[in-house]
């Protein structure tokens, strides 16, 4: 009986303690500011001794903190102070470089300050977004002013000056935006590196995206390379000696080696594809073949390593033995065949025909568009067959042969003029 009374007593005490704890929790949380979930990064656990927690950095991509003023009637001074501080806006929107020029971005900066983000952190965030925005703009300019690097008539005349002007204009826009968002002191202290330009235009989606520091390093490398080549040329002239092709190839290899120190593999390939000695020769060789950019890239990628190595060892095919030269030509043709579709490879082989090359030269002399080359070639093949018949005709005297050849030549000139005129009219 006694044990039962003790059990009831213990149960009553436990119930009383639970009730007291519930009252304590209610009183301890009453009149407190509401806590809203944020997107701050979680704290990394560490075994190091605890230290006073620094002011939390503002979230980088969005503001999701909604602060509410304290409403404790017993603390009017605190209530007035909190009400005077700018309130951060609660939003799930993510802010990035695309928003820098919008009005909403100003509210984003105000919200960062309202949640206690230090000014230096805000400056770092805003400058990173501004710089990324103008990096994108600079790449768009480099792409829109890119040259047709796969065509023999590709030229960069006047483009360097245009890019210089556009670069200055973009920097002025960037400075104005920095001053608008961060103040004149930040605009004065955060001037970007001025882009250097020479005769080499670093345009396109790859080279146009180089950071300013790397861009300037490449320009300086190109200038030093040009000075080395000019110095070597004049030294040979002063000595009365012709250019040594192996030494010239070694100078080109030095330029490639210097570029590999500051550019990655893709960027080096893009540079060599556009500006190298071998790329220039390939563009001339493919004149009339009219390759697409992708076809030119595939052909160049297939034959440039073997040609560059040949130049370093021999200077050129003319310095090789007949057997070495034939083996090299077979390897080169096989590499080109592998790079092209079958029908396009047949079109490439056509450019090897001497009569076709002559038709190309005639079209260039008359200023005809590429579409005129094939009609001129077909006409030239017919005339070559007629010429051989006249030369081998034993019934004609030398005088008659000469007159017949002159008449055929005059007719050929008239035919070329007609073809050029028709091609020009279609253009």
Task: Give the model's pLDDT for residue 34.
Answer: 44
Tell me the mean pLDDT in the region 183-202: 78
132 within a domain of the structure (yes/no)? yes
Residue 62 phi, psi (nearest 5) = -155, 165
Task: Give the model's pLDDT for residue 57.
Answer: 44
Q: Of 88, 92, 200, nearest to 149 (Cα)?
A: 200
Buried b (16+ CB within 10 A) or exposed e, 43-63: eeeeeeeeeeeeebbbbbebb
Helix, coil or strand: residue 346 = helix
DSSP state of 320: S
Q: Choose the final residue of a domain: 352, 367, 401.
A: 352
43 within a domain of the structure (yes/no)? no
Compute the distance between CA of residue 335 and CA of residue 320 in angstroms, rounded to an integer.
20
50 within a domain of the structure (yes/no)? no
Interior angle at CA 73, CA 70 and CA 75, nearest 5:
70
**Minimum mean pLDDT range among 7-16, 125-134, 354-363:** 7-16
Q: Choose the final residue of a domain: 291, 325, 352.
A: 352
Task: Give the model's pLDDT for residue 56.
Answer: 45
**Confidence class of residue 36 from pLDDT cuts 50, 70 and 90?**
very low
Q: Do 106 and 132 belong together in one domain?
A: no
Buried b (16+ CB within 10 A) or exposed e, 298-330: bbbebbbeebbebbeebbeeeebeeeebeebee
Average pLDDT, the chain: 81
Select the highest-mean-pLDDT range: 31-40, 90-99, 393-402: 393-402
Tell me the mean pLDDT in the region 169-190: 87
Task: Give the model's pLDDT for residue 4.
Answer: 66
Percentage with pLDDT > 90 across the chain: 40
Chain-centre distance for alpha carbon 214: 12
Instruction: Report yes or no on whether pTM surpasses 0.85.
Output: no
Q: Is the pLDDT reported for residue 28 higher than 60? A: no
Q: Do 217 and 189 belong together in one domain?
A: no
39 within a domain of the structure (yes/no)? no
- List all residues 6 or more positions away from 177 whose beta carbon is below 8 Å from its beta carbon: 100, 101, 130
Contact 289, 352 (CB under 8 A): no
Segment 349-391, tens digit of pLDDT = 988 888 888 888 888 888 888 788 888 888 888 988 899 999 9
Which residues span the domain enclosing 323?
Answer: 276-352
Q: Of 421, 413, 346, 423, nearest to 383 (Cα)?
A: 413
**Confidence class of residue 164 from pLDDT cuts 50, 70 and 90?**
confident
15 within a domain of the structure (yes/no)? yes
Compute the distance between CA of residue 245 and CA of residue 256 in angstroms, rounded to an integer.
17
Task: Give the model's pLDDT for residue 313.
Answer: 95
Task: Give the model's pLDDT for residue 197.
Answer: 73
Q: Do 283 and 347 belong together in one domain?
A: yes
Tell me the mean pLDDT in the region 140-148: 88
Secondary-structure breakdown of the chain: helix, strand, coil percentages, each rounded to the nearest 5? 70, 0, 30
Tell me the mean pLDDT in the region 193-213: 84
Supply 280's token pair: 């220039």
Q: Do 146 and 103 belong together in one domain?
A: no
Task: Give the model's pLDDT for residue 93.
Answer: 72
Compute the distance between CA of residue 341 and CA of residue 338 in angstroms, rounded to an integer.
8
Q: Give the position of tokens 């056509």.
A: 350
Tell me the mean pLDDT in the region 418-425: 80
Segment 45-104, tens digit of pLDDT = 444 444 444 444 444 444 444 333 444 443 333 333 333 455 655 566 788 888 899 888
Q: Is the pLDDT reported for residue 280 higher than 90? A: yes
Q: Is the pLDDT reported for residue 199 higher than 60? A: yes
What are the residue ranges of helices labelled H in 91-200?
Answer: 103-114, 119-144, 159-182, 184-189
Q: How many domains does the chain have?
A: 6
108 within a domain of the structure (yes/no)? yes
37 within a domain of the structure (yes/no)? no
Tell me the mean pLDDT in the region 402-419: 89
86 within a domain of the structure (yes/no)? yes
Task: Give the model's pLDDT for residue 307.
Answer: 97
**Confidence class of residue 159 from pLDDT cuts 50, 70 and 90?**
low
Task: Give the model's pLDDT for residue 1.
Answer: 56
Three-class SS string for 49-106?
A: CCCCCCCCCCCCCECCCCCCCCCCCCCHHHHHHHHHCCCCCCCCCECCHHHCCCHHHH
Contact 313, 325 (CB under 8 A): no
Q: Is the pLDDT reported for residue 7 higher than 90? A: no
Task: Give the model's pLDDT for residue 76.
Answer: 38
**Minimum mean pLDDT range among 26-40, 97-111, 270-284:** 26-40
Q: Do 68 and 106 belong together in one domain?
A: yes
Q: Do 299 and 327 belong together in one domain?
A: yes
């Amino acid at each position: 009986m006694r044990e039962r009374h003790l059990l009831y007593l213990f149960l009553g005490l436990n119930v009383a303690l639970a009730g007291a704890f519930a009252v304590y929790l209610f009183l301890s949380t009453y009149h407190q500011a509401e806590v809203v979930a944020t997107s701050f990064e979680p704290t990394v656990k560490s075994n190091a001794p605890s230290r006073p927690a620094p002011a939390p950095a503002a979230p980088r991509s969005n503001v999701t903190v909604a602060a509410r003023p304290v409403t404790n009637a017993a603390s009017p001074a605190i209530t007035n102070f909190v009400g005077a501080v700018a309130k951060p806006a609660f939003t799930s929107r993510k802010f990035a470089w695309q928003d820098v020029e919008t009005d909403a971005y100003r509210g984003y900066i105000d919200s960062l300050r309202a949640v206690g983000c230090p000014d230096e952190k805000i400056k770092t965030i805003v400058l990173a977004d501004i710089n990324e925005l103008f990096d994108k703009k600079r790449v768009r300019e480099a792409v829109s002013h890119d040259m047709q690097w796969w065509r023999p008539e590709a030229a960069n005349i006047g483009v360097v000056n245009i890019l210089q002007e556009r670069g200055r204009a973009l920097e002025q826009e960037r400075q104005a935006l920095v001053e608008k968002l961060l103040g004149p002191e930040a605009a004065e202290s955060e001037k970007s590196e001025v882009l250097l330009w020479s005769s080499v235009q670093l345009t396109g989606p790859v080279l146009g995206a180089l950071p300013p520091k790397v861009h300037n390093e490449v320009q300086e490398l190109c200038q030093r390379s040009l000075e080395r080549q000019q110095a070597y040329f004049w030294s040979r002239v002063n000595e009365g000696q012709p250019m040594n092709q192996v030494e010239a190839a070694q100078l080109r290899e030095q330029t490639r080696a210097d570029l590999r120190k500051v550019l990655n593999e893709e960027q080096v390939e893009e540079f060599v594809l556009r500006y190298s000695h071998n790329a220039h020769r390939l563009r001339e060789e493919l004149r009339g073949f009219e390759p697409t950019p992708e076809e030119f890239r595939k052909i160049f990628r297939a034959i440039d390593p073997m040609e560059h190595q040949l130049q370093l060892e021999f200077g050129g095919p003319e310095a090789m033995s007949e057997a070495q030269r034939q083996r090299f030509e077979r390897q080169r043709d096989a590499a080109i065949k592998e790079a092209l579709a079958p029908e396009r490879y047949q079109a490439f082989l056509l450019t090897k025909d001497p009569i076709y090359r002559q038709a190309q030269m005639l079209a260039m002399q008359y200023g005809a568009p590429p579409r005129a080359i094939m009609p001129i070639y077909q006409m030239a093949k017919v005339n070559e067959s007629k010429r051989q018949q006249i030369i081998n005709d034993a019934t004609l005297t030398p005088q008659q042969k000469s007159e017949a050849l002159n008449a055929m030549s005059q007719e050929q000139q008239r035919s070329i003029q007609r073809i050029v005129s028709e091609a020009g009219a279609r253009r």
